[in-house]
Amino acid sequence: MAKIAPSILGADFGHLAEEIHDTVRVGADWLHLDIMDGHFVPNISFGPSIVKTIDNLTDKFLDVHLMLSEPEKYFEPFVKAGADSITFHIEVHPQPMKFLEIIKNLGVKTGLSLNPDTDIEKVLPYLEYADFLLIMSVFPGFGGQEFIEKSLERITVAKKYIISNNLKTKVAVDGGINGENAAQVVTAGADVLVIGSAFFKSSDRYALTKKVQSL
C-alpha cells in the first residue's frame, strides 16, 4: 500500500484552492510542497505564506521539501505555517544530525533528501534519525522532468538497509513518477510517491490515486 503525495508545484496556481480541494476529493495521502531558493536549485517557488494558505485549506499532511542552501533558517517559519514534516538535503549538511534534532524538537516529522548524483551510502548512517528518506529521481528545481532509471537501484539499496537494520524510516521518491512507472518505483522499495505533473495533468486523478494506493 503506497502513499501518493501530489506535488503542488505541478498545480494550477491560478486556481490553487480548487486544486487543493481536488487532492482531498480524490483521497491523496499527503501534499508535497517544494520550496526553492534560486541558489541550491536554479528556480524559485514559494514561501511560508503560501504554505499557511494551503494549511488553511486542508487537514492533509503537509510534506515540506526544502531545496535551500540554508534550510535551518526556515525550519521554524515553515512549522509555524503548518508543515507536518520538514525535509532538507544532505548536500548542504553532510553532518545532518543536529538539524534533524532541531526539526524533531519543533514537533514535526524529519526528512533527509539527496540528489541523484549523491552517493546513497552517505545518507544510510543517518536514516535511524529520520522519519523519511526522500530520494530525488530527477535533479531538483523543476517539475516535468524524466525519471532517472538509475534511481531504482538506489531505492533498493536504501530499502534493504532499512529492513536489515530494523528501522522505521519510510522511503519517499520524488521526480518523474507517473502512472506507468509507479509500480516499478514501489517494487524497488518506495513507500511514498511524490507526483507533480503526472498527477495535475492527469485526466483521471482519482484513478491514478487509487492505482498508487493499491501498489
Residues marked active site are found at: 34, 174
Say whether residue 60 binds Zn ion (CB under 5 A): no
Contacted entry of ligand DX5, Zn ion, none for residue 103, CB cut-off 5 to 8 Å set by kind: none
The residue from 22, 29, 34, 55 that contacts Zn ion (CB under 5 A) is 34
DSSP 8-state code for residue 203: S
**Closest separation in Å from C-beta 142 to ligand DX5:** 6
Q: Which of 112, 189, 192, 203 is nearest to 154 (CA)?
A: 189
Please state the length of the chain: 215
Residues 188-207 binding ligand DX5 (CB under 6 A) are 194-198
Residue placing its CB nearer to Zn ion in the complex, 138 or 186: 138
Distance between CA atoms of 55 and 213, rounded to whole angstroms? 23
Q: Applying CB under 6 A, which of residues 81, 177, 186, 190 lies at the interface with ligand DX5?
A: 177
Determine the Cα–Cα distance for residues 67 and 89; give it in Å rounded to an integer: 7
Q: Should residue 138 be labelled a site residue for ligand DX5 when binding is judged by CB under 6 A?
A: yes
Among 37, 154, 174, 176, binds Zn ion (CB under 5 A): 174
End-to-end CA distance of the chain: 5
Q: Does 89 bind Zn ion (CB under 5 A)?
A: no
CB of 165 to Zn ion, least distance (A): 26
Long-range contacts of 211-215 (CB under 8 A, 24+ apart): 211/179, 211/182, 212/2, 212/3, 212/4, 212/182, 212/186, 213/1, 213/2, 213/3, 213/4, 213/27, 213/29, 214/1, 215/1, 215/2, 215/182, 215/183, 215/186
Stretch that binds Zn ion, among 14-22, 65-73, 78-86, 164-172 (CB under 5 A): 65-73
Residue nearest to ligand DX5 (CB): 196
Bridge partners, 31 (sequence order): 62
- Binding-site size for ligand DX5 (CB under 6 A) equals 22
Of the ranges 75-83, 93-101, 141-149, 157-165, which one interacts with ligand DX5 (CB under 6 A)? 141-149
Closest residue by Cα to residue 151 from 137, 141, 138, 139: 137
Cell of 175: 521526480
Q: Which residues bind ligand DX5 (CB under 6 A)?
A: 7, 9-10, 32, 34, 65, 138, 140-145, 174-177, 194-198
Contacting positions for Zn ion (CB under 5 A): 34, 65, 174
